[in-house]
Chain A
Amino acid sequence: MKPVNFDYYAPTSVDEALDNLAELGYNGKVLAGGQSLIPTLNFRMARPAALVDLNNIPELAYIKPTSDGGLAIGTMTRDSKVEYNPEVAKRFPLLPEVMKFIAHPQIRNRGTFGGAIAHADPAGQLPAVSVAMNATMRLRRKGQERTVTADEFIIGPFMTVLEPDEMLAEVILPPNPPRTGSSYKQVSRQKGGYAQAAVISVVTLDDRNRCKDVRMVLMSVGERPILSQKAREILMGQEASNEAFRAVAEAAATQEADPATDLHATADYRRSLVRVLVVRSLTEAFDRAKRGG
């Protein structure tokens, strides 16, 4: 379990990093927190010819308010910094709630917000949360920049639209309208372990407690985070009701979730978890939205 030789680049500015990536192309791999990459290197399952280490670029780590009341988070911001940031907690209580479930504190001290999303693990919380929050990704390569939505960004298991010489530079979180409530429910084998299924709900209510917007994401039951269309279809314009939630749960579990059977759980079991967690998540999100979010 020792990695293969690789060249090591340690740029100290974003421009230098982008130069390195442009030069290396397919032979280069970005090193952010390393919490997912290093084990694959040690198992020799990944054998990049060169690593471009972003840990010496302080300008990539920040949490800044945006002009519309949202937040922009630099890709190299450590998970724990996001988890404990008061501005984050104020605007997006969903984030600290979810992040408590990501592995363990030691890992969150090294893992980065952008790195986790770019890794696009189907069982990863941050990729799923970024879809639920309708985040925008700012991607940069030498001389170019583009933005895509989180849903566009993640295209499959461990797969994003990033070009080989491109890096995720920033995650922009749009502000939550008033009367927005969110909730995260997961089932995992152990504390800090991979979720076997999870549901994230972000709900906005109008002044008559009817659903004005809902983004419900099914996590770890498909190749990528699944933004539920059924939730929108059934809940838009509706008030909270157990009946409606159960209808969403049934539709999501049977028509949208696409879980796999693996060593730890069968697809059937995961589907049953989706049924349960959708109801619990929507119930809590609606409730929190009613109480002011």
Chain B
Amino acid sequence: MTGKVFGQPIPRLEDQFLLTGTAKFIDDIEIPGMVHAAFLRSDYAHARIKKIDYSAALKRPGVIAVYTAEDFGDYWRPGPLQVPPPTAIKGSQFNARPLVPIAKDKVRFSGEPLAVVIAESRYIAEDAFDDIIVDLEPLPAVVDLEEAWENKPALVHDDLGTNMAALVKQERGNYEEARAKADVVISRKILVNRNAAAAMENRGFVVNWDEREQEMTVWATTQAPIPLRNTIAARLGLFENQVRVITPFIGGGFGPKIMTSQADDVLLPWIAMKLKRPIKWIEDRRENFLATTSERDQVHYAEIALTKDGVILGVKDVFYHNTGAYDPYGMTVPLNTQTHTISNYRVPSFYTEIRMVFTNQMVVTPVRGAGRPEGVFVMERLMDAAARELNMDPAEIRLKNLLEPNELPLRTGIIGQDFVEGVLDSGNYKANLQKLMEMVEYEKFRKEIQPALRAQGKHVGMGIVCFTEGTAVGPYEGARVTIGGNGKVSVATGISTQGQGHFTVFAQIVAEQLGVKAEDVNVVTGDTAHFHWGAGTFASRGAAVAGTAIYNAAVKVREKIFATASKWLEVPPEQIELGDGKVWVKGKPEQFITLGDLAFRANPTRGVIEPGVEPGLEATGYYGPPYGATGAGAVAMIVEIDPETMELKIKRFVIVHDCGTVINPLLLEGQVEGGVSMGIGNAFYEKMVYDENGQLLTASFMDYLMPQATDMPPKIEIGHLTTTSPLNPLGIKGVGEAGAIPTPSAFVQAVEDALFEYQLEIPESNLSPSKIFEYVQKASKKG
């Protein structure tokens, strides 16, 4: 579906601002009279607050105010929930415990805010921490998921009487029957370790209350500017349009920046109104690790039942999911795990059970992948175990069980994060794997290359896995497209941008419809004064959902152009051509009107207009899908391990991906490569570690290892297939999280394959040379 602009690999339009340092980021915002906020945070993961005495802090020069929970009076209250409970799922139990803005009576995670200090500078605010006397009575910390489920060693929420945050069971078919018929049943305990998003830029919040105008302006590094605006307004009793939320350029989101109702966005607007001074808060890196959400951390007891020929009859998965100290984001992450476990395979019977627990750790909300990597990891590990048991090649067992295109669309029988039954809309999963095997020369590798290398004593292994990616979920997004008097086009949409290239892909969609150059389309995202309806940037939905809304609006504007031009050029619309920023009569190019002129004419300031006609060349469009669009793909990676030191090198990384129609191949590549980098990070470097007292031990990049360019394979080879989505006119599916989802699964399989003589089976998703060494030692002892 490539056009003049749409589908073309044009370089990004926003890069000139980013590369010349003129782009504005949150810490660039300076307002006269601005003061700085800092949060005093709890060291203990679980404690009762006996006393907080900040009188000494108030005496420090430069300190303007200090607040604790009590000082906010009735304004202090938990919540609201950001994602509603899963009532759509029969029999589900959910205990809502939304975020509290600041700890009151009890601290539930290390890093939870105890007090907020407002001072002339951030330095002074941090100095004031030393003045604040905090008396906490430590309590035993709830850390282990299975023990938490047993309400040991303590209750995170005393009033609840349990640490169970949710219990959600879903089934399709009948697993017990399937199991009874099976020739082979394999069960495994599988762990997925916790990772942070660790965006290059931390969070930030700047708020200015204009007392005379009675208007509040907020700059925030948020993925959800409109919900943020609405909750701030609601809490303060203001009209929504008295609050403007602007997102500056943001240095990466990856999920946690979707959160609202955190200490900054709840407390700082209230304080700004009280003190009548603009306030800035910029999160530092340690705070980001401690007190911004992160994700993954599940313990699975999974089972697969197959025939002796390797045909899957059923899968069962009972898993513990850590939601952390609160559950503001509902069941989104574990529901994604449920919907992505059986993924693109034919699994007639599937039973899945979420046991979500509260713990004394930071809250878990989506990070690129958002529960999908966990589901895929479990399934791929089961497939690998089955392949080993049945002496089948890993690619062979997958090909045997992948769904065929004519089985789609397939109603999965499992309800997902959008509270409707997941439907696999379109895709050719086998073709993905076959193309991958071609690209990576699978047969040759297995039969010639690998045996030859092994004969030389080299430990080279391959991992090959399949995955799906649920994207583009509802509810909806909207956009307004306007032709300006300058002949250029202005687009405004409610979602915000964190570096994905929205300013370019949205321009491409509009430019194609309106016959202008992409550079002449100006896109505004994430400014509620420009557009104030929408949900936010998450679940890889920007291009598919907001893009479609933009497309719908652009199509309406195109119709208006033809209608208006027809009137002024005095010919029927079919005889009008549109392009190069103007309209003209077919065959008579000298009879033209520029778009700018046409826009001007479409907005008379005198005279009479026909009934039903709207002024200007402008239209607003909305789009909401009936369910999410599912992308899919397959990954193969080849690693070489030094058996003496267990050092590992990625020799090759190949990913085949199908995300439907491609708007800009350059940006698509960027998204895939970014996701793969994070996947490699998750698999071999990044690991959030909490100790048995709930202390986060990895709160700096010294200990939380970020993947570097030198850790990447020489090239990330990307193959494309295109199965358009039937769910939107452009056929687009999301792709933002694709690379992150399958990578750990492939990584682990590759390591096992490389160290073949040890017959390793690795049930966890994060490795290191030392960890591999441990597994080898254990395996060697077995003899």
Contacts and interface: CB of A to CB of B under 8 A. Distances in A.
| Chains A and B share a contact (CB less than 8 Å) | yes
Interface string B619-647: 00000000000000000000000001111
Given A1-B284, A5-B127, A263-B703, A191 B710 contact: yes
B710 A263 contact: no
Q: Classify the secondary structure of A's interface with B.
A: loop
B241 interface: no
Contacts of B284: 1
B777 interface: yes
Contacts of B777: 268
Contact of B126 (A2, A190, A265): A2
A1 B127 contact: no
Contacts of A269: 646, 769-770, 773-774
B698 interface: yes
A276 B711 contact: no
A206 to B, nearest CB: 31
B127 A189 contact: no
Nearest to B706: A190
B770 A2 contact: no
Given A187-B769, A189-B768, 14 more contacts: A1-B284, A43-B286, A43-B700, A189-B769, A190-B711, A191-B708, A192-B710, A263-B689, A265-B770, A266-B774, A269-B646, A269-B770, A276-B644, A277-B645
Given A263-B689, A273-B645, A44 B705 contact: no
Interface in A250-270: 263-266, 268-270
Nearest to B707: A190
A193 B705 contact: yes
Interface string A19-45: 000000000000000000000000110
A190 B685 contact: yes
Contacts of B122: 2
Contacts of B711: 190-191
The 9 closest A-B pairs by CB, nearest first: A265-B770, A269-B770, A191-B710, A1-B284, A276-B644, A2-B123, A269-B773, A2-B126, A187-B645
Given A1-B284, A5-B127, A189 B685 contact: yes
A1 B286 contact: yes
A270 B773 CA distance: 10
Interface in B111-143: 122-123, 126-127
Contacts of B770: 196, 264-266, 269-270
B159 to A, nearest CB: 35
Contacts of B285: 1
Contacts of B773: 266, 268-269, 272
Interface string B755-783: 00000000000001110011001000000
A4 to B, nearest CB: 7
Contacts of A4: 127
B287 to A, nearest CB: 8
A6 to B, nearest CB: 11
B697 interface: yes
Contacts of A263: 689, 697-698, 703
Interface string B685-708: 100010000000110101101001
15 contacts: A1-B126, A1-B286, A4-B127, A187-B645, A187-B647, A187-B769, A189-B685, A189-B768, A190-B705, A263-B697, A264-B705, A266-B773, A269-B773, A272-B645, A273-B645
